[in-house]
Amino acid sequence: MDFSQPLKVSEVAHIIDAEILGNAEEETLGLNELHKVRKGDITFVDAPKYYSRVLSSEATVVIINKKMKVPKGKVLLYHNAPFDAFIKLIRYFRPFESASEIISRDAEIGEGTIIQPGVFIGNHVKIGKNCLIHANVSICDHSIIGNKVVINVNSVIGGDAYYFQKQGDTFKKFVSGGRVLIEDNVEIGALCSIDRGVTADTTIGRGTKFDNHCQVGHDTVIGKNCLIGAFAAIAGVTIIEDDVILWANVSINKDIVIGKGAVLLATTAADKSLKGGKIYMGSPATDVRKYWREHVAKSKMPEVLRHLKM
């Protein structure tokens, strides 16, 4: 999530009431979680087992709950509750804005775009030219839709991320401050949900087509010209590269990469990254040729066991 203009560390520290360890005049450019962090970003860490990983990341500023020697090129903001401080920053720079109209007055809608009855368009939404938005679609705040996009009935674009942190005997919600970006010539079926990013963007590449009842989690990036079958469930922070085909009822775990041109047959479940250019089947996902060899071998086991008993 980028700031509208660079901010000095001293300004950020004032917002969250943190102690500055390092250069208070260093400039920050935005907020991001560890998996999306860039130079100039602010991120946070509150668990000792992740200190090393976060402090060696690209982040320029780290909100942390321990005073220590400041690593080279970093500024630390000491705070006793880094998670809460980070959420406060998200809310400060991208606050919730209630809707007073079904189509926000500040929404930008391109020439030739058709908006069917019952469509909700939130604040700061941009929709390109010659799109078709069917009845009862909800396009939530800050979403950006390209040209010639079709979104079918009752789909939700830009709902909150399903993201919670366990704290004691309860869960704290990670407030969503990111966006959904949908590129040109995308088609989204009925009753699909594409969640906004937490601090970055959930992105759907040009020419990709969704069937009905698909779920895309926060911060996931889907490439160009992909086909996503009905009931596909794609977890957050996943990368689906170009030309991938996911047939019906495919499940994709979080934090993995599905390589370019991969095909996952119906009901396949991927729990780890998969190479491109191959066909996969089963749960967990297996190269289809290996899957069928194993299936044939298993089918012959009863006969093998009968011979062994003889």
Active site positions, annotated: 218
**Cα–Cα dist 261/279, whole Å:** 9
Peptide bond into 117 cis (omega under 30): no
